[in-house]
Structure 1
Amino acid sequence: MPGKQWAKNCVSSRLCYSTKVLPVSEFAAEIDRFLDALWMERGLSRNTLAAYRRDLSGFARWLGEQRQSTLLAARREDLLAYLAARIADEAKPRTTARLLSSLRRFYQQAVRDGYLQVDPSDRIEAPRLGRSLPKSLTEIDVERLINVPDTNTALGLRDRAMLELLYASGLRVSELVELRVLQLNLRQGVVRTLGKGSKERLVP
């Protein structure tokens, strides 16, 4: 299994990964500073920023417990050991790759801001990701799903409209739930929405 072999090539030992919680104040300031800079520069969504926070907080806790170290004092071997421990703990390759991406972004920003001279995540290879085929609904499945809401009720009408809009426009669920009436142009038949990275797009 590629993920397992990758873990063995880095550093093995399930024992080096712990889930005990350290006081958030020990690493929160470093993470907050990074997330503020990321939001200012790239305008990332709240969900994306929250994912960065989870990844960095988990690594920071592990550093404090297992290495008596901090985010800005971490070495390359610390990152390798943590990633290997996550894989040994049954983390999926895609999850591990995302975690490494979060760490890279954090340390690249720390070098740019002058907090570090050397990026400890440099030249660390991510585990290989297998290609998964997309799952799609048949036309009959879609019709059944759309017909589930009870259109005799206001709530059912709302749900039916949401399902119809998702099916017809290809909107993301996150875009749909954030949609406002002012973003609908019924005359032109388009929806104005903000996608990933706060980029505006018109959806027919």
Structure 2
Amino acid sequence: MFGLRSEHTREAYRRDLQTFHAWLGAVRGHTDLAVEVGDIEVYARHLREDRGEKRKTVARRLSTLSALYKRLMVTGHSERNPADPALVSRGDTRTADTPPPGCRAPTSNPSSRPPMNATRRATWPTRAPPC
């Protein structure tokens, strides 16, 4: 954290690491950093579902963990990065082209697709379509 200039960024990283450390102790019964990808996925789900954190907050917290594990790999204290973005989802990945949860995806029939907006992205009605 020494290379970070902003005190706000350093404080956010400290909070992110403290939150993870506390979760490890409470849920996993240990506070060492020897965790697997599955542990990071459970932690991300905990942040989203139990704590109600927003997608960007969860992504930042996971990025903090990824940076920590990268550093541990460089210094020889870890063999892998369980928080690698290629391995762990950063949050809700639903795009405008994906239907809301509980509804079926649009079919290939153009007449059944939602209307397109100016940026050519599907726009879903404000009301949930009948499923």
TM-score normalised per structure 2: 0.63
Match of 2:58 among 74, 82, 96: 96
In the aligned structure 1, how far is the partner of 2:44 from the partner of 2:7? 25
Post-superposition offset of 1:121: 1.1
Contact 1:107 1:121 in 2 (8 A): yes
Post-superposition offset of 1:115: 0.8
In the aligned structure 2, how far is the partner of 1:107 from the partner of 1:71? 12
Query: Following superposition of structure 1 onto structure 2, how do residues 1-204 of structure 1 map, counting pairs within 5 Å?
Result: 38-39=1-2, 42-89=3-50, 90-122=52-84, 123-127=87-91, 128=93
Post-superposition offset of 1:129: 8.4
Post-superposition offset of 1:111: 0.7
In the aligned structure 2, how far is the partner of 1:129 from the partner of 1:103? 23
TM-score normalised per structure 1: 0.42
Higher helix content, 1 or 2:
1
Amino acid aligned to 1:126: R
Which is higher, the Rg of structure 1 or of structure 2?
1
In the aligned structure 1, how far is the partner of 2:37 from the partner of 2:5? 27
Do the aligned partners of residues 44 and 82 (structure 1) sit closer, same or farther apart at CA in structure 2, a change above 3 Å counting? same
SS in 1 for 2:53: coil
Identity fraction in percent:
33
SS in 1 for 2:33: helix
Contact 1:94 1:129 in 2 (8 A): no
In the aligned structure 1, how far is the partner of 2:60 from the partner of 2:20? 13
Contact 2:40 2:82 in 1 (8 A): yes
**Higher RCO (C-alpha under 8 Å, 6+ residues apart):** 1
Where do 5+ consecutive residues of structure 1 fail to align?
A: 1-37, 131-204
Contact 2:4 2:10 in 1 (8 A): no
Where do 5+ consecutive residues of structure 2 fail to align?
A: 96-131
In the aligned structure 1, how far is the partner of 2:94 from the partner of 2:7? 26
Higher strand content, 1 or 2:
1
CA-based RMSD: 2.0
